[in-house]
């Protein structure tokens, strides 16, 4: 999979994505990431890409032409028109289903805005998806673009060392992931649940699923309600197992 990030700060993007799992995936060729500097397509001495907005108002706006020329340069050698994702608080809220959908693409362009945004005319011309990573405002789209690259790349073949990992993580089946434990068996007086030491894989799977239900009920009741409605024949725990905090 190839990610093309249109940005004013390519170093910020590439420095972060070159670490950890995404860095290894780039090194192995499992994914490709390029950060293209929109300033390189400005037709002025100082590579200025912003200007005042018509009608007045605070702040500056990214101009249409540099963005469009950058887009044209990226797409000139592609075999088909790619999806172009504009990162904006006005977009649809990003989730795991959207990540799965994007992971099926061969190429995806992520457009990072700045200042007061981008001239509407070029957005109408090139953008296919308007995406928000949450109901808050960032100084630019770069962090949001990196979130998408990280979450989508995990679903691409050859990125994770354990090919089964994405199938058991949070949101893979509509639930949060169950609690997990490692050595030692007892830590600060807390024991690993006995079922995990039993060697009975069927009981372990049953316990993990029940704990995923309980955790989702405790922490994301909106997801829990959706799961209950879509699984009417499944036994669903009715009470939380979360311990109540002691009052001071």
CATH fold group of domain 168-230: 1.10.1270
Residues of the chain with CATH 3.40.1280.10: 2-153
CB proximity list for 99: less than 8 A, separation 6 or greater: 148, 151, 152, 154, 155
Task: Name the pTM for this structure.
Answer: 0.84
State residue 89's pLDDT score: 93
Burial 115-148 (b: 16+ CB within 10 A, else e): bebbbeebbeebbebebbbeeeeeebbbebbbbb
Residues of the chain with CATH 1.10.1270.20: 168-230
State residue 161's pLDDT score: 77
Element at 120 (helix H, strand E): helix 120-126
Residue written as token pair 């499992």: 30
Query: Which residues, listed in sequence order, are joined to residue 60 by a DSSP beta bridge?
Result: 52
CATH architecture of the domain formed by 2-153? 3-Layer(aba) Sandwich (3.40)
State residue 239's pLDDT score: 61
State residue 58's pLDDT score: 79
Tell me: the pLDDT tens digits for 47-66? 999 999 999 887 899 999 99
State residue 203's pLDDT score: 97
For the chain, which residues score pLDDT lower than 50?
164, 245, 247-248
State residue 63's pLDDT score: 97
Query: Which residues, listed in sequence order, are joined to residue 191 by a DSSP beta bridge?
Result: 186
């Amino acid at each position: 999979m190839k990610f093309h990030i249109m940005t004013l700060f390519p170093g910020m993007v590439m420095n972060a994505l070159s670490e950890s799992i995404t860095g290894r995936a780039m090194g192995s060729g499992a994914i490709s990431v390029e950060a293209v500097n929109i300033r390189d397509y400005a037709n002025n001495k100082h590579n200025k890409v912003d200007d005042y907005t018509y009608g007045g108002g605070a702040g500056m706006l990214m101009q249409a032409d540099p963005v469009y020329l950058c887009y044209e340069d990226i797409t000139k050698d592609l075999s088909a028109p790619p999806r172009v994702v504009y990162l904006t608080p006005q977009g649809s809220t990003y989730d795991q289903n959207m990540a799965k959908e994007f992971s099926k693409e061969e190429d995806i362009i992520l457009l990072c805005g700045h200042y007061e945004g981008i001239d509407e005319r070029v957005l109408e011309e090139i953008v296919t998806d308007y995406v928000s990573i949450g109901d808050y405002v960032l100084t630019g789209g770069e962090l949001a673009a990196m979130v998408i690259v990280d979450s989508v790349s995990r679903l691409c073949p050859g990125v994770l060392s354990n090919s089964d990992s994405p199938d058991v993580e949070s949101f893979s089946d509509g639930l949060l992931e169950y609690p997990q434990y490692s050595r030692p068996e007892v830590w600060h007086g807390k024991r690993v649940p006995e079922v995990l030491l039993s060697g009975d894989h069927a009981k372990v799977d049953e316990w993990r699923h029940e704990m995923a239900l309980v955790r989702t009920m405790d922490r994301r009741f909106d997801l829990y309600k959706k799961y209950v409605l879509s699984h009417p024949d499944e036994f669903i725990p009715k009470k939380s197992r979360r311990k109540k905090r002691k009052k001071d």
